[in-house]
Amino acid sequence: MLRRALTPRWLGWFAVALVVSIAFVWLGQWQWGRYEDKAARADRIDSHYTATPVPVTEVLSDSPAPVTDEWTRVTATGEYLADEQLLVRNRPLDGAYGYEVLVPLRLTGGQVLLVDRGWVDNSPKGADVAPEVPPAPEGEVTATGWVRLGEKSLGRRMQPGQLASINLQEAAAEVDGQLLGGYLSLQSEDPTVPRPAPLEVPDTGTGPHMAYAVQWWLAIPAFWIFLVMALRREVQDGSERSPRPKKVRIWDEEDG
């Protein structure tokens, strides 16, 4: 087997197996990383989602919030800046697309917190027409909800009063005041008024990524075992094959 394994053809197969093994290791690590990210997110949601709310200023500051603070349940008291309402386009809810409604809340301490009050469907006249939105309550209001991190910019130029994503820098350009480094996904308001539809409860599933990682890693020894068995089979077939008798020509015998 060793002599056969050192032939150029089999050395080529072993080189291919080595490259494939490295690729499978990388793919397994990639899937495992995705599993760890989703598991960490699920842990944050499980520990924060129903916890007793804390004042928002104990969690958020002018700097971007760290990922460990996401989904912290907080309360914020202030007055809505209803004239500076923003609509985020192409946001899904229950299989439909519409807008998420963002309204800045000026806190009693002067800071401004962006509040996602929920979702509204597109206007019957088309997505280019602003939909009707239940107005935010006037006067002092206490909002309770969950801290969310700002989203990446999609690099799209939108009409005034609309955003392509909940990017805090782009939102700050439309708002009078310095926004805190995260926004609030609204759970409830006091006083209670009609509001846009609440957003979906976050998914805490980790998906199939752990299983995919294990499958990629188990494929490595399986591939090598298959290769070695193929080599062994080829060697056995060669040893069992009887050599052909040498054909002697009649005139060779006569010449002899």
More confident residue, 58 or 11: 58
pLDDT at res. 251:
55
Supply the pLDDT for residue 241. Answer: 54
pLDDT over 70 for what percent of the chain?
A: 91
Query: What pLDDT is stored for residue 244 in this prediction?
Result: 57
Residues 75-105: tens digit of each pLDDT: 999 999 999 999 999 999 988 999 999 999 9
pLDDT of 231 above 60: yes
Q: Note the pLDDT of residue 3.
A: 80
Ranges 7-16, 48-57, 112-121, 145-154: which has the least confidence: 7-16
Average pLDDT on 196-206 reads 86
Q: Please give the average per-residue pLDDT across 222-237, as a whole number.
A: 87
At 178 the pLDDT is: 86
Residue 6, pLDDT > 70, answer yes
CB 84 within 8 A of CB 136: no
Query: How confident is the model over 101-155, as pLDDT tens digits?
Result: 999 999 988 899 999 999 999 887 766 777 889 999 999 999 999 999 999 999 8
Q: What string of DSSP letters covers the chain?
A: -HHHHTSHHHHHHHHHHHHHHHHHHHHHHHHHHHHHHHHHHHHHHHHHTTSPPEEGGGT--SSPPPGGGTT-EEEEEEEE-GGG-EEEEEEEETTEEEEEEEEEEEETTS-EEEEEEEEEEPPTT-TTSPPP-PPPPPSEEEEEEEEEPPPPP------TTEESS--HHHHHTTSSSPEEEEEEEEEEEES----SBPPPPPP---TTHHHHHHHHHHHHHHHHHHHHHHHHHHHHHHHHSPPPPPP--HHHHHH-
